[in-house]
Amino acid sequence: MDFEPYRGELVAYCYRMLGSFDEAEDLVQETMLRAWKARDRYDRTRASVRTWLYRIATNACLTALEGRARRPLPSGLGAPSEDPGAPLTSALDIPWLQPFPDARFDAEARTDLRVALVAATQVLPARQRAVLVLREVLEFTAAEVAEQLGTTAAAVNSALQRARAALAGVGGVDEITEPDDPEVRAVIQRYVRAFEAADVPALVQLLTDEAVLEMPPVPLWYRGSRDYGLFMERVFRMRGTGWTMTPLTANGQPALAAYAPEPGGGHRLHTLQVLTVTGGRVAHNVVFADPHVFRAFDLPRRISSDGFRRAR
């Protein structure tokens, strides 16, 4: 049996369940090992190999989620900050949501991985979460999901209805356009030019009025183009000007690796920014500063002044 062709989609599934790319990779490795050890007991008359693997992966995820807190973003923990000068103190005790590195997987595996949707899904009880992803994203039948979860099709349909109701208030997800959309690319290019020029008024012009900026592991966040701009002025005062940015994608959304200037020349990796573009403007920017995230995206720690990679 060759399980390897299913690895990418299983990692994406476990990521949706756990909100952690690191843990998703580990659980898929565990799933493959369990499947290999149980290969002699696999019954092809009851389920396809793919369905069987998802059953193993689901059980592994549900076990991993027992007694565990959800992985949030700062905006899921409380009201926005009204002080752009508030202390930037990391809350390392919170298991923050991580982004998904698109470049390591094919396009089909990356379907419906929007940051806002994955964050909202984390609020659901684990079994409802599994039902929602298996039915809505992966399009398994109710009977197949019932077999995977050891329950009935009626119970699966009931759980799906509750999950849909719980997520009904998640706005804007359907409005997000693809990162390769020409309008989105143009917005990101203008954002990069403004950021690299430390041109805060130009940045603000690219934002929606209610744009959100959040920066895990710092638990505070901001809403509104005014506070977004004031915070960016603070960033350039603290870190200097002359930044450089590298475009990529994460969670099926445009993303930017931001490198801050170093006093002796060159640039050091500062953050990975995952942007949501709606209606030709940036509506949301989740700024990740976790070294685990940088490793998952295979980002160099430093680049030289001319843009070449240096030490990893």
CATH number (domain holding residue 218): 3.10.450.50
The phi-psi region of residue 241 (left if phi > 0; otherwise alpha if psi is between -120 and 50; otherwise beta) is beta
101 inside domain: no
Residues 251, 158, single domain; the answer is no
Q: Where are the alpha helices (DSSP H) in 68-152?
A: 115-121, 126-132, 142-149
- pLDDT at position 307 is 55
| Domain enclosing residue 189, as ranges | 174-303
Using only C-alpha atoms, the chain has a radius of gyration, in whole angstroms, of 21
Residues 28, 158, single domain; the answer is yes
- pLDDT at position 46 is 86
Task: State the CATH number of the domain containing residue 153.
Answer: 1.20.140.160
- pLDDT at position 1 is 81
Residues 135, 250, single domain; the answer is no
- pLDDT at position 111 is 66
Residues 19, 158, single domain; the answer is yes
- pLDDT at position 312 is 47
Ranges of the chain with pLDDT below 70? 109-111, 169-177, 305-312
- For the stretch 46-72, pLDDT in tens is 889 999 999 999 999 999 999 888 999
Residues 248, 158, single domain; the answer is no
- CA neighbor of 285 nearest in space, from 119, 170, 172, 116: 116
- pLDDT at position 308 is 53
Tokens of 3: 């399980």
Residues 155, 197, single domain; the answer is no
Q: Which of 166, 197, 225 is a domain's end point?
A: 166
Residues 11, 152, single domain; the answer is yes
| CA separation for the pair 46, 260 (Å, rounded) | 55
79 inside domain: no
Question: How many structural domains is the chain composed of?
Answer: 2
- pLDDT at position 137 is 87
Contact status, residue 285 vs residue 258, Cβ threshold 8 Å: no
- pLDDT at position 81 is 96
- pLDDT at position 244 is 96
